[in-house]
Amino acid sequence: GENVEQHPSTLSVQEGDSAVIKCTYSDSASNYFPWYKQELGKGPQLIIDIRSNVGEKKDQRIAVTLNKTAKHFSLHITETQPEDSAVYFCAASIEDYQLIWGAGTKLIIKP
């Protein structure tokens, strides 16, 4: 079955710098890759997703890139702000099966 690995487990960056979180997946049939942000005391919130027919997608300061050959996808956050501090989860799925989740990355933005 599908397996998703997420790195790093903790990432500390200076405010204003960029942050990159990477996930690798095992099943080449996976075709949907969402990223979720979980703030303290809240449920995860979808922030961006990408499908396998697209290599990159941007939404303001966040972007996701997908390399199907290498079977990895990454979340890029530019000009980080204190409110970006949270735990970020990646996931992968073959569309009508359940999402398989990465273990999460705790992002710390240092003032």
Position 41 contacts other proteins (CB under 8 A): yes
Residue type, 91: A
Position 34 contacts other proteins (CB under 8 A): yes
| DSSP label of 93 | B
CA distances from 93 to 34, 79, 99 (A): 9, 30, 5
The stretches of 13-86 forming alpha helices (DSSP H) are none
Stretch that binds other proteins, among 18-26, 52-60, 71-79, 89-97 (CB under 8 A): 89-97
- Least distance between other proteins and beta carbon 104 (Å): 5
Residues that bind other proteins (CB under 8 A): 32, 34, 36, 41-46, 49, 89, 93, 95-104
